[in-house]
Structure 1
Amino acid sequence: MGGLEVVAQRVASGLAARGHRVEVLTSASPGRVGRTVEDGVVVRRMRVANWFERRGIPFPIFGPSLLRHAWAAVRRADVVHVHDMLYVSSWVAALLCRLTRTPYVVTQHVGMVEHPSRVVRLVQWLVLRTVGTLVLTGAARVLPISPVIEQWTLSKLPRTRTQVLRNGVERTRFRPPRPGEKEELRRLLGLPQDEVLVLYVGRFVPKKGYDVVSRAIGEAYRLVFVGGDRPADVPESEHRLYLGALDPDVTADAYRACDVFVCASVGEGPMTPMEALLCGEAVVVNADPAMRALGLGDGVVELEVTPDALRDLLTDLARDPVALDTLRARGQEVARTIPTWNAHLDVLEAVLEEVAGGGG
């Protein structure tokens, strides 16, 4: 799934491995409704309607079962960990925590997403001004994933108790290719051997910049997309290759198989640029404040991403191997500073134990 889901899975399984009893309530993808135990974590997936997904908006609508399962789970918990404040499940969990006086923390993954739809921007504003405010102000601690998101949160709700907690990255999975490995991975993934490959990883939605990247086709390189099949409204082109939705291990292989990674997201700081750096790719990111907050500095190229500007930059990199190698080397220097999941969990575990013990 997306970055938020990956973070939630890593946190839950990591805390369970440290001896904590962890239970996850989440929405279900088709065919996965019910209760399972995964990596020591009890996972309850609930049926939802995804009407808004057709418009590129991840906002599942839960049925009444959410209230029943959340009530039982909150009453069992010493502390509740909510991921973001924009979703119905977050609202219900926070409300039940306040009713039962169960302490909770919120990981704030995004600020206000600059969505192209005025309706979506209006809904986000209304959520922040109403139930979102209740979720954040009632939290014992809000954990923004970057200083920029912290500043945004405090600018809207100055009394919120915040502590920046950057996401970690799994270094055993995300690593540079070994000698000869890139060629082998290209063969396994069905990718051309002797071309410059530019990778996009993410959902095919506006806030991820998919529409911009997909229009930036050029003669000097090929675009490779991970995240789903080619959308029906995107014309076929030999310069676009779609690998579908891949599991994390194969996605890491795709990073290692390609030369350049592009992240054109708006209003968020996703994990994908960090994963790409760790896998040895040259990285281009959108010149967006939330992206800059990842702290990747000179390890990436910042660009006001438009189809034409991106095409020009990628063409220059594809035709100048020295410039491409230089950017890749700068990225490797920055990659050494990216926190691990163990470092992330050390901080989170201390916060949760303090909050659960009444330390707020």
Structure 2
Amino acid sequence: MRVALISEHASPLAVQGGVDAGGQNTYVAHVARSLAQLGHHVDVLTRRDDPALPAAVDLRPGVRVLHIPAGPPRFVPKEQLLPHMPAFTRAARQLLAHSVPYDVVHANFFMSGLVGLRLKASFRVPLVMTFHALGHVRREHQGASDGFPPERIAIEERIVRGADRVVAECPQDRLDLLRLYGADDRRIVTVPCGVDLKEFAPVDRALARRRLGLAPDDFVVLQLGRLVPRKGVDNVVQAVARLRHIPKLKLLIVGGDAAEPDEALTPEIGRLRALAREGGVEDRVIFSGQRRREQLPACYCAADVFVTTPWYEPFGITPLEAMACGVPVIGAAVGGVKFSVADGVTGFHVPPRDPAALAARIEQLHAQPALARALGRAGIRRVRTLFTWDRVAGELAEVYQGVRRPRQAAAVQAAADLDLSQPGAMA
């Protein structure tokens, strides 16, 4: 098949952990590569955000990244991109009009879905939609601090009605689509995110700690990801403040918008440092700044436990990466985290915004290292069974085939109905 992946703000070429770069970038990059490994051709349509970028970049054989002119060729926060989607649509239409037809368009995020709806109308190409986050859910948790325009929810409702398939990334995502958007259950398919097992795998903890400058006998709690309030990193700092009695306990916070922790570029760092000072653990909390993708496995493997306690999380890839490295995960019982982390099997669920509950689980793993090791081994088994990108791509390819099948079946039936023995049948 020829597949067009639309990802207006999240390029597969972007650095994970940077400004507006995170799980969607990883998702698009790995889905594209894995589909190509299955023999499909994939074009990723993403907005040009740098004038030096070429029109097309070959990511690997079978995968191209096409930079679509829409708005100024510089970084624009995704909350401000909606006015540039008409230009994105015009450029995408021109591209599709002069290229070999695509078998399916797979849009990622609501603005890409808006473009996808218009391409579907213009070219009668099936549309598959992955939202990655839903406006209604975001509003429930962030209220007035949500920076997206109010039109977002109406656009999402149109996409839910108009897409041939909507991909839910976890059971909670599916329930939200049904509860908040009145989605047709028959057109929802659940396909999770994945993890690259070649990239993330267990390595020797002592070696990983030497690379990071951590002591061999530290008890290391890791928090890794975007540093924004909704990720609940303040909850982790407050939990660590309750564990001052544990000697050598350290909280390693990986993330931010620069290689060195910079409060001017990442204001959340300043807020978290203030909390650490108030809790008397300023010397226990280490901010590492942003780390390159190839450095992340060492961060995971250096940890005794990985913690992620967001207020809400549409899916969350970091718990999968931690489990692939054999690290037990304590995660908030929200969204995709409560799906990917098996409570009591690969780690523990805790309520969001509950530092006491989180502290109790961290203390339990500190006191029971054999349990921590068993949870880590179970995490490896779980991701290898359920959450590989090859499996994800295979399931998506089945979804694509499903939306193509009615057209193909109609063509086959028309041919079968054609009586070649009649005069003029081959005219």
Which residue, 168, 171, 182 being the options, matches 1:144?
A: 168
Q: Could you say which residue in structure 2 is the equivalent of 1:55?
A: none
- Quick one: distance in 1 between partners of 2:346 and 2:284? 27
Relative to the length of structure 2, the TM-score reads: 0.72
Give the Cα–Cα distance (whole angstroms) in 1 for the partners of residues 404 and 194 of structure 2. 23
User: Which amino acid letter does the alignment assign opposite residue 69 of structure 1?
Assistant: A
Relative to structure 1, the CA distance from residue 352 to residue 288 in structure 2 (aligned partners, 3 Å threshold; closer, same or farther) is same
Q: What is aligned with 1:230?
A: 261
Q: Could you tell me how far apart the structure 2 residues matched to 1:190 and 1:202 are?
A: 20
C-alpha contact (below 8 Å) 2:261/2:287 kept by paired residues: yes
Partner of 2:60: 39
Inter-CA distance 14–121: structure 2 relative to 1 (3 Å threshold) = same
- 1:240 is matched with 285
Output aligned runs, 1:152-231, within 5 Å.
152-155=176-179, 156-159=181-184, 161-177=187-203, 181-218=204-241, 219=244, 220=246, 221-228=249-256, 229-230=260-261
321, 345, 354: which one aligns with 1:275: 321
Q: Which residue number in structure 1 is paired with residue 12 of structure 2?
A: none
Q: CA deviation at 1:131?
A: 1.1
C-alpha separation in 2, matches of 1:20 and 1:280:
32
Q: What CA distance in whole angstroms lies between the structure 2 residues aligned with 1:48 and 1:261?
A: 34
Give the direction of change, closer, same or farther, for the CA distance of 1:230–1:27 in structure 2 (3 Å limit): farther
For each residue in 1:224-270, what CA deviation from the matched residue of structure 2 results, as whole angstroms up to 9, or x when unmatched?
A: 12222535224383222233322333212211111100111214221
Kindly tell me the number of residue pairs found equivalent between the two proteins. Answer: 349
- Following superposition, the deviation at residue 316 of structure 1 comes to 4.0
Structure 1, 239-248 or 322-331: larger mean CA deviation: 322-331
C-alpha contact 2:59 2:65 (8 A) present in aligned 1:
yes
Pair 226,347 (structure 1): closer, same or farther in 2 beyond 3 Å? same
For 1:53-92, what aligned pairs fall within 5 Å after superposition? 60=81, 63=84, 65-75=87-97, 76=99, 77-85=102-110, 88-92=111-115
Q: Does 1:317 align with 2:340?
A: no
Moved more, 150-159 or 58-67: 58-67
Q: Displacement, 1:303? A: 0.8
1:253 and 2:298 matched: yes
Q: What's the % identity of the aligned pairs?
A: 26
Residue identity opposite 2:169 in structure 1: I
Structure 2: gaps spanning 5 or more residues? 1-15, 17-21, 264-269, 275-281, 409-427
Measure how far apart 1:274 and its partner are. Answer: 1.8
Distance, in Å, in 2 between the alignment partners of 1:61 and 1:126 is 9
Partner amino acid, structure 1, of 2:223: Y
- The alignment yields a C-alpha RMSD, in angstroms, of 2.9
The partner residue of 2:121 within 98, 111, 121 is 98
1:284 touches 1:303 (CA, 8 Å); kept in 2?
A: yes
Once the two structures are TM-superposed, the CA of residue 45 in structure 1 deviates from its matched residue by 3.8
From 303, 308, 333, give the equivalent of 2:350: 303
Where structure 1 has 5 or more consecutive residues not aligned to the other structure, the ranges are 53-57
Alignment partner of 2:376: what SS? helix
Counterpart of 1:70, as a letter, is A
Tell me if structure 1 keeps the 8 A contact 2:35–2:394.
no
SS of residue in 2 equivalent to 1:158: coil
**TM-score, structure 1 as length reference:** 0.84
Cα deviation for residue 183 of structure 1 reads 1.1
How much does 1:119 deviate? 2.4
1:323 Cα deviation (Å)? 4.4
Q: Which has the larger radius of gyration?
A: 2
Tell me the secondary structure at the aligned position of residue 113 of structure 1. helix
What's the counterpart of residue 288 of structure 1? 334
Q: CA deviation at 1:120?
A: 4.8
Moved more, 320-329 or 279-288: 320-329
Question: CA separation of 1:217/1:324 partners in 2, compared to 1, >3 Å: closer, same or farther?
Answer: same
